[in-house]
Structure 1
């Protein structure tokens, strides 16, 4: 039978080395993804305990862990390590009997765990092993069970679990972890050291909800979507479908986290003259798919959301796809 670690994230984020180190553990907040000083995010206990009970009834040995720092996440991930390799690299165990369930109050929490997993298992370029696929920089990461803590995130503001059709009921999550299949999914890495599971949206709105234009050069492989001279209202970088729309406008047409491609769209306001000299602004959406995307901001700071975590882009950032790098347990 399996050993199952049920990992929840809960941190007083102002402490140095707090959970995620720049990736929000408890959800999006201003600036660095941390909560305001003095606030704390308590993980709801009922779904966690219900899932643990369901696992125990099936004969699994269950341990619940609440991580308040990157080091505590790393200690849990170490249980997924494989046996020592001749090259000395830390590698996941493909036949391990320990399974991981991540209790998530937000996509940002799941991203925080996957970010630490990538840092643990990605070999340095100078020690790239021969058994690593040519289109990857990380090995197959261990599958994770996802336990959503918010049962209502299935409407317009769907979380990643809802987009992927993963079970939300704690007992069904337990069944998927013990009896289900591992569904492999694409992962976006970026040169800032983080990962993206769902997508990123560049741009922001003012207090009245109106988009605030920005400028940036945006390239997908060899395709230039924006030169950096014109004003943009938004740029969506999609792995899954959470950032597919801007109000009533479709940005991403068919994002698929299993196709080995990143889909990118930019929204450009275009002024057209009508009869009697009247002007009309329409939105032009340019799209491309590829293996990688590079964004070079022309303005001093470009606000963005990446898996729900807020930030500001003030220098070049590149994302690239890692096909099938991570996986979830599903029924």
Structure 2
């Protein structure tokens, strides 16, 4: 790891882009972070009103080190932007996590308190982290999951909360014609999973869930099947999943349905400023 480079006058040059959602949800933490950063660096603050302004501010950072203030979605948006512009390798990114969800930031080693996170920006060190990139140029910073399918509600079961209107319309239709019997959906997928071209699971073996995580320069694959209590595990640089339409959760985002997707691990593809001495995941 290497410490952030100071400017010639001794002060770090930072571009701090503050997500509008963070300003609305926790203005006090944003103010505290601004005070700490201003006390230790030469800071230019940007307050974009939306994604387009956010992207423009980041693109115009010049030689200043980018610092984003926001939640996990802000971090994901920033890394995705830098990846699309092929700018991830240009320098370390820093984050002050403020907002609704900061679990991804915490898992990467970023402090979640405003003061501690801002001090880590000033005094921390840049750590190289792996990146999963899919064949549609999407990125995954933490875990990729294909969860089990939800089972359908059995006939006669009570409706879930929030579906009262749907239930009322169903009752009206019942007065007109009988409601056909609905079979319960299976809770497993029919998926073909390959790691570096090696077949781990084929379509004839039902899958209850798949997880892909970047771990120390490799992609760790865990497959839970319908037939075995022990998961199938593998380590690879490329993972391909195909089969019937499936959805997947990449960090905080749910994507799909898709029929095939390949994820490729890029070791050390980006840098994140973390507290000095922080251990790897």
TM-score by length of 2: 0.74
Match for residue 133 of structure 2 among 163, 166, 189: 189
Partner deviation per Cα, 1:255-305 (whole Å, 9 max, x = no partner)? x2xx211111110011xxxxxxxxxxx523101111111111x22x21221
Partner deviation per Cα, 1:15-41 (whole Å, 9 max, x = no partner)? xxxxxxxxxxx9xxxxxxxxxxxxxx9
Greater Rg, structure 1 or structure 2? 2
Q: Which runs of 5+ in 1 are unaligned?
A: 12-25, 27-40, 82-95, 123-138, 154-158, 240-255, 271-281
Q: 1:283 to 1:10 in 2, by over 3 A?
A: farther
1:117 aligns with 2:82: yes
**Distance in 1 of aligned mates of 2:152 and 2:67:** 40
Q: 1:6 to 1:237 in 2, by over 3 A?
A: same
1:80 and 1:142 in contact (8 A); partners too: no
2:39 corresponds in structure 1 to 57
Equivalent runs, 1:67-78 vs 2, <5 Å: 67-69=49-51, 71-78=52-59
2:168 corresponds in structure 1 to none
**Distance in 2 of aligned mates of 1:44 and 1:108:** 15
2:147 corresponds in structure 1 to 203
Q: 1:227 to 1:75 in 2, by over 3 A?
A: same
Match for residue 263 of structure 1 among 220, 239, 242: 220
2:191 and 2:202 in contact (8 A); partners too: yes
Shift of residue 219, structure 1, vs aligned partner: 0.6
Shift of residue 49, structure 1, vs aligned partner: 1.6
**Distance in 1 of aligned mates of 2:24 and 2:104:** 21
1:18 corresponds in structure 2 to none
Shift of residue 152, structure 1, vs aligned partner: 8.6
Shift of residue 80, structure 1, vs aligned partner: 4.3
Shift of residue 43, structure 1, vs aligned partner: 4.4
Question: Which is helix-richer, 1 or 2?
Answer: 2
TM-score by length of 1: 0.64
Q: 1:285 to 1:174 in 2, by over 3 A?
A: same
Partner deviation per Cα, 1:84-104 (whole Å, 9 max, x = no partner)? xxxxxxxxxxxx3x1222223
1:142 aligns with 2:91: yes
2:237 corresponds in structure 1 to 291
2:93 and 2:271 in contact (8 A); partners too: yes
Q: 1:53 to 1:213 in 2, by over 3 A?
A: same
**Distance in 1 of aligned mates of 2:125 and 2:218:** 23
Shift of residue 315, structure 1, vs aligned partner: 2.3
Over the aligned positions, Cα root-mean-square deviation in angstroms equals 2.7
| Partner-residue secondary structure (3-state), 2:189 | coil
Shift of residue 115, structure 1, vs aligned partner: 0.6
Q: Which runs of 5+ in 2 are unaligned?
A: 1-10, 154-184, 276-281
Q: 1:230 to 1:197 in 2, by over 3 A?
A: same
**Distance in 2 of aligned mates of 1:46 and 1:211:** 48
1:224 aligns with 2:173: no
1:261 and 1:289 in contact (8 A); partners too: yes
